[in-house]
Structure 1
Amino acid sequence: MERPLLVTDFLDRARDYYADETAVVATTGERYTYAELGRRADRFAAALSERGVTPGDRVAVLDPNTHYHLAALYGTVQAGGVHTPLNYRLTPEDFAYTLSDAGVTAIYADHEYADRIEAVRDEVPTGVFFTDDPDRVDGDWESFDDALADADPAAHERPSMAEDDVVTINYTSGTTGDPKGVCRTHRNETLHAYLSAYHLDVRDTDTYLWTLPMFHVNGWGHVYSVTGAGATHVCTRGVDAATVFETIQSEDVSYLCAAPTVLNVLQEYHANHDVTTTGDAPVRAATAGSAPPEATLRTVEEEFGWDLLHVYGATETGPLITTSEAGRLFDDDNRYRLKKRQGIGFLGTEVRVVDEDGEDVPRDDATLGEIVVSGNQVMDGYWEKPEATETAFHDRVDGYYHTGDLAVVDENGFVSIQDRKKDIIVSGGENISSIELEDTLFDHPDVTDVAVIPSPHDQWGETPKAFVVPDGDPDDPPVTADDLTEFTRDRLASYKTVRRVEFVDELPTTATGKVQKYEIRETEWADRDSMVGQG
């Protein structure tokens, strides 16, 4: 028997079996059961329908991980709409582009961010504006809660849906130009949620703390997997280290996600404060993006007492496609070495590292190739960008999404990213991995955060330059540039030595904690015709 895979099934299951259990702990302190969350979603679906939203229409959500986002998401999909979450760190001009590109019909915006939409209101196609607190927002905005109270869910019939219908458009971070809308179907989202639930061990007894933005690829699928499991969502309005540790204790949080930059913040707070790192439940944390330094892994697991899971993916791939959790391959000597790698493919996911000819590189942990992936969680394509879609799936290998990440593979098949294609530093003909340099500098006790990029060099074409957030005042750092040069020279081959260091207050990042190297590169290469050195 074939049954369509629909994201509406996740909330339907939860309110069927866990109706009276806590679904959501709101940032305002209210608690909603799954029955209550279901009713809010039903009413929002009816409210959208009453305002002319039809199946296939895009509904944008601009929200910092509150309970409104969950109700808006499920209400949108129950109305047959396309959930279009927005990055709340963007500017009004960015929103004007995204909302116009997606052709949205309605938007929900949290009161803290609605002014950024109001500023470009006349430039976007959006005709329906909801917010949580109209009294704190300029312009003509409807109260989300009043709209729910006035809606008649009995008059709204859930439309028929197909698993190949687009249900979400997630916009890329825009690290290399205008964002592209990544289209994901009911099938993509459902199978990704199944896979993330399995590989990240989501259970109905979990209490999940929302430190990862819900807008980011639907929060790695946790808007679906945590809901479908009948677990509890604990909402937030951003990441504050003290609040994270306090909430872990007060709510007995068992699971959270944390980008490497978030882990850095938590480590720094833990080092300077006497804090308890768990409640009554054991804690596991998932991290993604750049590989966490081994020192971070040891701190989180040995000092925090958490189990740290390292996963990897991209907006276009679901996102998750690999995991470093392969306990049968761990031993006392290699545990942290393997955990810091991006790892092996998820179930039902083919992850390859291929050379320029599309051939798999040898498992020698040395030969560099590009990661390509095929899986049911991979995107349907880019919104109204057929040429970009064609390129993404048919560069080195036909039918595989090309990530642009360069990696090596060890004898066990564990992938380890060495760089983005555009971030490889070519100095005097030698390829240098910025990630290797960053990992080395992270081991220095006076380095809080770091990004390494190619810097133009008249002789070598490019040379590594480190932008360092020191553990102290960047104008009077506790370590000198010469000290860090010697630190890398002592640990790496001589041609990899970092000879240029700039101390900064912070690094530019996306909302998901990924360092915006492209932004740093643009500044560094501003007086050059190209951002590629002839090295």
Structure 2
Amino acid sequence: MHKPLLVTDFLDRARDHYSEEEAVVATTGERYTYEELGERADGFAAALQERGIEKGDRVAVLDPNTHYHLEAAYGSMQIGAVHTPLNYRLTPDDFTYILEDAGVDAVYADYDFAEKIEAIRDEVPTETFITNDTDAVDGDWESFEAVLDENDGEYDRPDMTEDEVVTINYTSGTTGDPKGVCRTHRTETLHAYIMSIHQEISDDDIYLWTLPMFHVNGWGHIYAITGMGAKHICTRGVEAADIFEAVQTEDVSYMCGAPTVLNMLIDYYEAEDPATTGANDVRIATAGAAPPEATIRTVEEKFGWYLKHVYGATETGPLITTSDARRYFDDDSSDRFAVKKRQGFGYLGTEIRVVDEDGNDVPQDDQTIGEVVVKGNQVMEKYWNKPEATEEAFNDRAEGYYHLGDLAVVDENGMISIQDRKKDIIISGGENISSIELEDTLFEHDAVSDVAVIPSPDEEWGETPKAFVVPSNEDPENPPVSATELTEFTRENLANYKTVRRIEYVEELPTTATGKVQKFELREQEWEDEDRMVGQG
């Protein structure tokens, strides 16, 4: 028997079996059952159809982790529209590109971020603009609650197939503009299935949203938590005090957090000594950079939480590996920390390889470095409107595998450990930052003659951008612009998390005979005191 895999099944299942159970604790204080959440999603679906949104049209969502995000996502997908979540940390110029590139037809934006869309609405093809607080937003916006109230929730759900694109997630590229990662009903569904297994999600879980819902659909938790009938605890931001309070008052059992979030929690714990659990045991998943063993030790031994280290990319679901292999460590032994800091081996149904430049597997000696490539049902379908980039991503070293651009070693058990990056990507606090984009921005300043940006080790963020700048007067001792002024220049022209706060003036950059900048030399210099050239959060 073949039954199509559709993301709409997740909310349908929750409504069928958990209709009277609490589904969402809203940031505004309301508590919704699964039936109520479903009714609100139905209302949004009906409102979109009334405004001419059809199957295949793109609907963008710009929102922190609130119930509105869940309702807008499911409302869009129920009519066959393509859910297009937006990173609220981006600039209006970034949104202009994305809305134009995706051809977005409707936008729901939270009141805290709607001004970024209002600033560019005349430049984009979007015609429908909805927010959750019209009083707090300038311009002509419709009220989310009003559009729900104006209909009875009746909408026409079109026929859908599992191979149709249902989400587009934009990711920072190493060159040029962001790329839209196209994910189908099938890829989203299978990712949610296998993630539910490896993350041990059950219907009595209470999930705290510390991971952005926009980030690869919250690593698939908008589907898995819903489909299992578990409870969503929504948030408007990530503050250590609020996280510990929610863990206690809502009996949180599961959450996610980049290593920088773990560090923030540790700092708060050491200063304030809060209670770390409520009625439930807590497990936390981390990704983005390998956490140091000391961080894992504090989370597990002092907080009493169970840490799961996972790995992937926007293009891969994201989750493709786990180091939670309990037959390889004893829960009471400190040896487990060395295992848990590795990226691990593949999720169910996922083939992970580390290959050399000829596409051959490197030996499992934990020494030989190769590039990580993957095959799996959770891997993206394609890049939106970028066939050449798609072809390269799947066929560079090993034909038919997605190439992650991370360089790793493999141990005797087949567990990988990331050592370096092939791509010009900096991962700071869990956010991908293109060094090329930062270089292009700095080149716009008249006082910059040449520049190279690399990741620099950072205790708080894992790594942070550092720019080596050749000043226009070629005098690094007396440059015509201060480092502080260049930092402010990047802050004014980029999303805040991309700001270049470390700048070193140099006479020249290391280059090859053909003039290509050898960033590897700069990275070796910057990371000489570290055991690998990637950040540990």
Question: Above 0.5 in TM-score?
Answer: yes
**Residue in 1 that maps onto 2:447:** none
Cα distance, 1:220 vs structure 2? 0.5
Partners of 1:286 and 1:169 lie apart in 2 by 24
The two structures have a TM-score, normalised by structure 2, of 0.83
Partners of 1:454 and 1:112 lie apart in 2 by 30
**Residue in 2 that maps onto 1:303:** 302
**Residue in 2 that maps onto 1:384:** 385
Partners of 2:495 and 2:226 lie apart in 1 by 21
Partners of 1:129 and 1:112 lie apart in 2 by 14
Cα distance, 1:399 vs structure 2? 0.5
Secondary structure in 2 aligned to 1:37? Answer: helix
Partners of 1:457 and 1:337 lie apart in 2 by 38
Sequence identity (%): 65
Cα distance, 1:274 vs structure 2? 2.1
Counterpart amino acid of 2:346?
G
Say if 2:399 is the partner of 1:398.
yes
> CA deviation digits over 1:180-199, x for unaligned, max 9?
00000000000000011000
Cα distance, 1:153 vs structure 2? 2.7
Cα distance, 1:450 vs structure 2? 4.9
Evaluate the alpha carbon distance shift between residue 534 and residue 418 of structure 1 in structure 2; reply closer, same or farther with a 3 A threshold.
closer
> CA deviation digits over 1:319-342, x for unaligned, max 9?
000000000011435311010000
Matched residue count: 469
**Residue in 2 that maps onto 1:407:** 408
Counterpart amino acid of 2:271?
N
Say if 2:11 is the partner of 1:18.
no
Give 1:156-195 correspondences, 5 Å limit: 156-174=155-173, 176-195=175-194
Partners of 2:239 and 2:176 lie apart in 1 by 30
Partners of 1:213 and 1:533 lie apart in 2 by 31
Counterpart amino acid of 1:84?
T
Evaluate the alpha carbon distance shift between residue 525 and residue 326 of structure 1 in structure 2; reply closer, same or farther with a 3 A threshold.
farther
Cα distance, 1:173 vs structure 2? 3.2
Partners of 1:423 and 1:524 lie apart in 2 by 20
Cα distance, 1:526 vs structure 2? 11
> CA deviation digits over 1:350-404, x for unaligned, max 9?
0000000000000000000000000000000000000000000010011000000
Consecutive unaligned residues of structure 1, counting only runs of 5 or more, are: 426-433, 459-474, 476-503
Partners of 1:242 and 1:255 lie apart in 2 by 17
Partners of 2:260 and 2:460 within 8 A in 1: no
Cα distance, 1:177 vs structure 2? 3.8
**Residue in 2 that maps onto 1:76:** 76
Cα distance, 1:313 vs structure 2? 0.2
Cα distance, 1:419 vs structure 2? 1.2
**Residue in 2 that maps onto 1:496:** none
**Residue in 1 that maps onto 2:150:** 150
Evaluate the alpha carbon distance shift between residue 145 and residue 334 of structure 1 in structure 2; reply closer, same or farther with a 3 A threshold.
same
Evaluate the alpha carbon distance shift between residue 329 and residue 58 of structure 1 in structure 2; reply closer, same or farther with a 3 A threshold.
same
**Residue in 2 that maps onto 1:487:** none
**Residue in 2 that maps onto 1:478:** none
The two structures have a TM-score, normalised by structure 1, of 0.83
> CA deviation digits over 1:213-265, x for unaligned, max 9?
00000000000000000000000001000001001100000000010011111
Cα distance, 1:421 vs structure 2? 1.2
**Residue in 2 that maps onto 1:532:** 518
**Residue in 2 that maps onto 1:467:** none
Secondary structure in 2 aligned to 1:164? Answer: coil
Partners of 2:182 and 2:99 lie apart in 1 by 15
Partners of 2:14 and 2:287 lie apart in 1 by 27
> CA deviation digits over 1:14-46, x for unaligned, max 9?
010000000000000100000000101111111
Q: List, as ranges, runs of 4+ consecutive aligned residues in structure 1 with deviation greater than 6 Å.
A: 452-458, 520-527
Two-structure CA RMSD over aligned residues (Å): 2.8
Counterpart amino acid of 2:257?
A
Partners of 1:333 and 1:239 lie apart in 2 by 30
**Residue in 2 that maps onto 1:451:** 463
Evaluate the alpha carbon distance shift between residue 396 and residue 202 of structure 1 in structure 2; reply closer, same or farther with a 3 A threshold.
same
Partners of 2:466 and 2:63 lie apart in 1 by 36
Say if 2:127 is the partner of 1:127.
yes
Cα distance, 1:449 vs structure 2? 4.7
**Residue in 2 that maps onto 1:430:** none
Counterpart amino acid of 2:159?
S
Partners of 1:422 and 1:456 lie apart in 2 by 18
Partners of 1:143 and 1:271 lie apart in 2 by 43
Partners of 1:188 and 1:77 lie apart in 2 by 14
**Residue in 2 that maps onto 1:469:** none
Secondary structure in 2 aligned to 1:359? Answer: coil
Secondary structure in 2 aligned to 1:41? Answer: helix
Counterpart amino acid of 1:231?
A
> CA deviation digits over 1:496-529, x for unaligned, max 9?
xxxxxxxx99x99xx999x869x57998789757
